Structures are given as structure tokens and as C-alpha cells.
Structure 1
Amino acid sequence: MTIRSMMLAAGGLLIATLMTGACPAESMAAEGKTVLTKPQMEKFSKVSDIVLDKCMACHSRDYDLPFYAKIPGIKSIIEKDFRDGLRAMDLNAELVDAARDKPVSEATLAKMEWVILNETMPPAKFTAVHWGSRVSNEDEKVILDWVKETRAAHYATGLASPAHANEPLQPLPDKLPVDAAKAALGEKLFSDKRLSGDNTLSCASCHAYDKAGTDNSRFSEGIRGQFGDINAPTAFNAVFNVKQFWNGRAADLQEQAGGPPMNPIEMGSKDWHEIIAKLANDAEFTAAFKAVFGDGWTGDNITNAIAEYEKTLITPNSRFDKWLKGDDSAITKAEQEGYERFKQYRCSSCHVGKSVGGQSFEYMDLKKDYFADRGSPLGSDEGLKGFTGKGEDLHRFKVPNLRNVELTAPYMHDGTVATLDEAVRIMGVYLSGMDIPQGDRDLIVGFLRTLTGEWNGKRVGGTPVEK
């Protein structure tokens, strides 16, 4: 299929299937997911026409290179531009495939918003040759209006003040609807070491409450002193992740909860029968469990309860949340400037939404080869490819959520970064392609410290909340 026919087909799909991108209303389900309502067809039709005309040729797979790509010296440049364009945003994947039955993702919206506001697309060297490829002022307004409407329809929590309602970051809700009886069982199971093969480890061993849902270790220590090769992500606010694990191999919290107990170097149980045999000897716990789950102990029921409990591990009321809600004094002027730098340096294109991340998979080596510079290859470096098996997913990782990030060091999937300053510097170089000056890094780090929230009546980390 030629790029022209692909573009036409994609355009039809964009118009037909992505009209959901401007729904006027939505509701939040128990898992924090959205329920689609009636779409505004005309608005997305206009956006899809612009995308088809201005963007799709450089941001879709199976393209046909233009005739002048055969000119010596030009071919390699054009091939690199197409490759870089796809890695930055594959519009067939993000606007067509991923959004057939759901809204366009928050990260995709934020990326489109950023390039329009910063006038980075199409690149100058492209428009110099393709004079008709510039995005007009009218086109920009249509796209930005669509982003705003889509964000309000599908992702706004309804908690932000009017002045901040269209920010790419949203306030966390105070709580989500949960089945209290299931969650109570899940809380016990989350801290129950009988889920491990030798009764030494629980979920809370690697996701400690007093360490913001992590263990502050580069790699977590598993059964019999074994170590993996990937940093344990926080369990706090994980309910808002689009998928679980750095490589997205778990679709939801329940599937994720079933992974570590059976992992031979993590909790090391042989199977659910081994775990259930131990739990069934606890008569009081068994009676309580059967009162909620009529069929008693099963692997599905255990992970169901743990997942329900994890929905309560959300940390609202950070100082930044309060600012978003309209309290202008909640953060300082310098911290507000830090947030503006956070957006300026493109951090908010990926770290979006309620949990400030967890909504997309991005290349760790988008602008520069992080892995070559770091050295010492790890099996976990494959990222999403380790789950999908697709070559194009090599080095793509789920964007971590940044809630309580000042407390969750070390950083990155490989746990090699000890400070927020260094994490910001690395993100600038390898993801944004920008060398962030020290002064701006200081401002961004100051902003990131405003994301520490509350849990169980205390600031995350243990400090009592001032009344």
C-alpha cells in the first residue's frame, strides 16, 4: 500500500473511529476509567483532515519515500527524519489503532498541543521544501480547541479551578469507588508473607508505605536473596496507569498482582495451590474471605482483592493539587515557574494526567543513545519489546508517574539515578533533546517536590497533615 493510499485509509479511520475524541461528557468508573458518550463528529473531522494533510506522511509506518530521496546524500537524511518522526509519534498507532474504541490518549493530546504551542511541527527544513505543509493559524486553533474539549470530556477530574482546567496535569480525586469488604481483604493480603514461597516477603516488602510505595533500592531483593534487573515502581496511584509494569505486560492491577508471587526471583511461589494451602490453614481469615468470595480461595479471588485494595493507594491533596484547585498560595512563585519550565522542556508531553505519568510508552533513547552512554546492558533494557516481541518497541518504557517523586529514588527503569536533578538532566538530554541549564533544573525539581500528597491522614512519607 502506498503512503497516499495509507493516508486516505487512515484519514477515513480517523474520521470514522476517532470522533470520540471530542465527547462532551464522561463518567469515571471504579477503576478510574472513562465511559464514552456521544461524540462531536464535525470537530474531529476537521482535526483529522489537518492531520492527514500535514502530519501523517512523516508519522506513519510503511511510507513511500519521495522521489528525491534517491539523490545521493539526501536519502540518509530523509530516512533518519522519517525514523525519528515515527519514534516521536506514530499517528497510525496513536490516533487510529489505539483509539478505535476509546478516546485519544492524554499523552497524544499533550504531544499535539506542545508542538502546536511551540511551533515545532512541521520542522523548518521540511517546510522549506514542502511549502504547503505549514500549519495555518486556523488549523492551530482547531487542533488546540479539540485538545481542550477532549481533555475536558475524558480526562478532567472536575476538581481544577477554571483557570487551570485545561492544564495537562489534573488534580487527583480524594478517592475512588471501591468494594470496602474486598479492599479490606486485599489490604491483609498485600502485607501477607505467605504469598511468597518461603514466607519471607509480601507485596509491601517492595512497595513500602513509608517509602512512597517503593523500597528505595536499585533492584528489589527477592526470595533467597535474589535480585532482578529492574527498579520496582511505586504502588501508589498505580490504578491510574494505562498498563502495569515498565514493559506493560499486565493489563490492569489484578493481572499485575498475580505476577510477583509466581516470579521465581521475586516471591518464588510454585503456584496458587501452594499459597492457598497456607492461607486455608488460617480459619479466621478463611471465614472472612468466604464471606466476600463465596467460592473461597482462588488465585483470581486473591488478586481481585489485592487489586481492589490498591485502588485505595492514591495520594491526593498535594500542594500542587491545591494550586490546581484554585489556591494560589499553595505553591511559591518559584515553584510555579518550575511548572512552566516542566511544560517548556516537554516533560508534560509524557508526564500527564492525574498521576503525572503512566499513560504512554516512550523511547528512553529518543534523542540520544542512553544505553550506549550508560553501558552495562541489562535484560530489562528491552522495555516494551520484551512483552510485544516487536522490534519497534525496543527501549520503550511505560512513563513512570511522578506523584511523590521526591520520595521514590532511585530513578529510571535501571535504578541508576540517585537525585531528581540528575533525573531531570537525563530526561532533557535523552527524551526532550534539550540540555536543561542548572537554574531551570532547580526550578523543575522545586516543582516536582510539590507533588507529594497525602495518604491515611498523613503526608506521604509519614509527616502528619497540618489541620
Structure 2
Amino acid sequence: MIAICAVLLCCLEVTPAPSQSPPPTASDRGEPVTPILAAPAIDPLKVALGEKLFGDRRLSHDDSRTCQDCHDVATNGASQKRHDVSLNGAELPLNTLTVFNSTLSFRYGWEGKFRTVEADIKSSLESPNTMGSSAAEIAAKLDADADMRDRFFAAYGRRPEGADVIDALASFQRTLVTPGSKFDRWLAGDDSALSADELDGYRLFKSLGCSACHQGVNVGGNLYERHGIFHPLASPEPKILRVPSLRNVATTPPYFHDGSAPTLDDAVRKMAVAQLNATLTDQQASALVAFLGSLTGTYRGAPVGGSP
């Protein structure tokens, strides 16, 4: 009997216990989209300074506007207008893109003219259509403010300089990421995160070919594409655009580079015709809109745009 027990114990010791595999991640699933990670660790003094500058009217030549006026981080990171206006009151030619998750794209702006966030910021500060100023002019204004001088000394160890103005703004912009969407939770292995309609919409998004251009961490933003491949889409110029990110897209109407699509349903249907030569049924359009709604993330613990 003792010998039998010894044999059984030996068997128990060498038999490995069944292991529980972690839930599949986006890469395990082989999905074309990956989740947004938390904001990178950046000097908090530089980030706080950049945020303060983002809402400072002295960044514009005539002290009339702030970055926040067109890129409202309290809502969708952009504006609700089809076209924002220039310093002289004329409409800007292109719809304002959201600043949220912009640093996850490979280029900046609708035409992708700028390779770095610093270059994009410098252009916005200098453009006569937006701020009409320069980093040097802004630094000189801020240097006359004792509180701002203290903030720059704390963050950079010196009085305000143009390069530091741009760096502080870039530091803040790099923190404007919006993780935690329903879709990201699903990608991370939470199978209950998406509804049946949202899942149907995602399957359709892939099967129709939408994910050929809208993929990666930003669900877009990583390649150029010609619009109006099969049929006209919106304003003909510019012909080639940087594919926009679809992150938080449900919160950023109107749509397209000219802001001509007032609703997401309208944009989805027009995109299908123009880019895929496909006419969507009402059910397909509804499913795609449901999926796109699941891409709304959170910023500072709240959903972007206040959507559910």
C-alpha cells in the first residue's frame, strides 16, 4: 500500500497543472488595428507649461486667439465648424483635424506636409491664416510676464526662448492620446466589450476593404491616398491626402477635408461609393457607424466629446 501511494504521489508531482492562457491580444487575433497605449512619460513641468501655452492668446500675433479655440480638448480636440476662420475672418480651406492622437500619425495635416509635431506647431504659429506670429515673437511676449518666466525657468532652466515654446507645446500634444475605447478593450481580450452590431460593423469594415487604408494604432494616419477613386467624394483639391485617423470619429463632425459630410452615416455611405464603388444598405451603414462609435476613447478619465 505504501508503495502504491508513493507511485501515485510521484505521478502527481510530475504531472503539470493545467495552465490558463491569457486572453488573446490584438496581435494574437491578427487584427489590423492595435490598441492605444497610455501617454508617454514626459517632464510634467514641460507638459503643464505646454498646456498653459495652448490656451494663451499671446501665441497669436494680435493676441486674438489660442490653439484651444480651434482644437478644443474639452470636447473633440477640434471644432464643430465646417471651416474655422483665418485671422482676417476668411474661411480656412480645410476642415480642422482633431489634435487628439495626432502624434500617433506618421505625418501631420491633411496633406501630410510635416514629419514632426514640432514642425507642424512651428508652421501653425507662423501661418498668416492661423497665428501669424513666430516662436521668437511669442517668447519675447512671455518674457515680459514674471509668472511665465518662472515657469520657463522651472521647466527649461532659462527665460523663454522660441525653441522652448515649441517644445512645451509639443510635449503637451504628445500627451493628448485617448486610450480605453470599447474597441481597444475588445482588442485586449474583453469579448463582452463590443455589442453584436459593433462586431458586425467591424467585420464589415474589414471585408469591404476599409481597413486597407484605416489600420494600425490610429486606425489611419499612416499612409497617403487619392480620394474619389471610383466616384467624386468631396472638393477635388487636394487630390492626395494623408488618410485621417478614425479614432474618436463619432465625435468630430462634419467630415472630409472640406467638411461636406454633416453626419457619420452620410460620410460612411459616401466613402463606400467613392473609394470602394459599393452602395451600402441601411443595415450595413448602421453597423459601420456602430463600430466607428466604439473607437471613442477617454481623456483624463472622461469619454472624448462626452459620448457614451
**Shorter-normalised TM range:** 0.7 to 0.9
CA distance in 1, matches of 2:26, 2:74: 35
CA distance in 2, matches of 1:226, 1:274: 24
CA distance in 1, matches of 2:99, 2:232: 29
1:226 partnered with 2:90: yes
1:457 partnered with 2:301: yes
Matches within 5 A, 1:355-394: 355-370=218-233, 381-382=237-238
1:183 partnered with 2:47: yes
Q: Please report the RMSD computed on the Cα atoms of aligned residues, expressed in angstroms.
A: 2.0
CA distance in 1, matches of 2:210, 2:26: 23
Q: Which runs of 4+ in 1 moved over 3 A?
A: 162-165
Q: Deviations over 1:155-197 (max 9, x none)?
A: xxxx962685420011111222322222111111111111011
For this pair of structures, how many residues does the alignment match? 287
1:249 partnered with 2:113: yes
- For 1:211, the equivalent position in structure 2 comes to 75
Deviates most, 285-294 or 212-221: 285-294
In structure 2, do the counterparts of structure 1 residues 312 and 421 end up closer, same or farther at CA, with 3 Å as the change threshold? same
1:321 partnered with 2:165: no
1:268 partnered with 2:132: yes
CA distance in 2, matches of 1:162, 1:426: 29
CA distance in 2, matches of 1:212, 1:347: 23
SS at match of 2:222: coil
Deviates most, 321-330 or 169-178: 169-178
Higher relative contact order (CA 8 A, sep 6+): 2
Report which of the two has the higher share of helix. Answer: 1
SS at match of 1:209: coil
Residue in structure 1 matching 2:61, options 180, 194, 197: 197
Matches within 5 A, 1:51-200: 161=25, 165-200=29-64
Amino acid of the residue matched to residue 284 of structure 1?
D
1:404 partnered with 2:248: yes
Gaps of 5+ in 1: 1-158, 383-394
- For 1:416, the equivalent position in structure 2 comes to 260
Q: Deviations over 1:106-129 (max 9, x none)?
A: xxxxxxxxxxxxxxxxxxxxxxxx
**Is the contact between residue 82 and residue 258 of structure 2 (CA under 8 Å) also seen in structure 1?**
yes
CA distance in 2, matches of 1:451, 1:440: 17
CA distance in 2, matches of 1:245, 1:163: 29
Identity of aligned residues (%): 37
TM-score, length of structure 1 as denominator length: 0.59
In structure 2, do the counterparts of structure 1 residues 330 and 262 end up closer, same or farther at CA, with 3 Å as the change threshold? same
SS at match of 1:167: coil
SS at match of 1:326: coil
CA distance in 1, matches of 2:271, 2:258: 14
**Is the contact between residue 409 and residue 419 of structure 1 (CA under 8 Å) also seen in structure 2?**
yes
Amino acid of the residue matched to residue 140 of structure 2?
A
1:293 partnered with 2:293: no
**Is the contact between residue 405 and residue 451 of structure 1 (CA under 8 Å) also seen in structure 2?**
yes
Q: Deviations over 1:68-105 (max 9, x none)?
A: xxxxxxxxxxxxxxxxxxxxxxxxxxxxxxxxxxxxxx
Gaps of 5+ in 2: 1-22
**Is the contact between residue 358 and residue 398 of structure 1 (CA under 8 Å) also seen in structure 2?**
yes
CA distance in 1, matches of 2:271, 2:230: 10
User: CA offset at residue 215 of structure 1?
Assistant: 0.6
